Amino acid sequence: MATVAGVDDVASLRPKPDIAMVLGALFALAGYLMPWFKLGDDYEWWFSGWSYAGLSSGGGWTLFTFVWLAVALGAALWAGGSAAAAMTGLVATAGTLVMSSAVVAVSFAMVPEKDALNPVANLPFGLGLPVLGIGLGLLLAGGCRATALAVLRAPAADSRPAGV
Q: What is the pLDDT of residues 134-149, one digit of tens each?
A: 999 999 999 999 999 9
Q: Is the predicted pLDDT of residue 42 greater than 80, yes or no?
A: yes
Is 105 a domain residue? yes
> Looking at this protein, which amino acid is placed at residue 5?
A
- The pLDDT assigned to 139 comes to 97
Q: Please tell me the number of Cα atoms within 13 Å of 92 on its side-chain side.
A: 28
Instruction: Please tell me the total count of domains within the chain.
Output: 1
Q: What is the pLDDT of residues 115-133, one digit of tens each?
A: 766 777 778 999 999 999 9
Is 6 a domain residue? no
**Which position has the higher pLDDT, 156 or 15?**
15
Which whole number is the average pLDDT over 85-114? Answer: 93
Is 162 a domain residue? no
Q: What is the dihedral of CA 26, 85, 60, 137, to 10 degrees?
A: 40
- Bridge partners (DSSP) of residue 125 are 37
Is 126 a domain residue? yes
Three-state SS for 128?
Answer: helix
* Domain span including residue 139: 17-37+59-110+119-157
**Which position has the higher pLDDT, 61 or 5?**
61
Is 82 a domain residue? yes
CA 135 to chain centroid, in Å, comes to 7
CB atoms closer than 10 angstroms to residue 95: 17
Is 70 a domain residue? yes
Is 97 a domain residue? yes
Is 48 a domain residue? no
The pLDDT confidence band at residue 54, using thresholds 50, 70 and 90, is: confident
- Bridge partners (DSSP) of residue 37 are 47, 125
Model pTM score: 0.83
- The pLDDT assigned to 53 comes to 87
The pLDDT confidence band at residue 163, using thresholds 50, 70 and 90, is: low
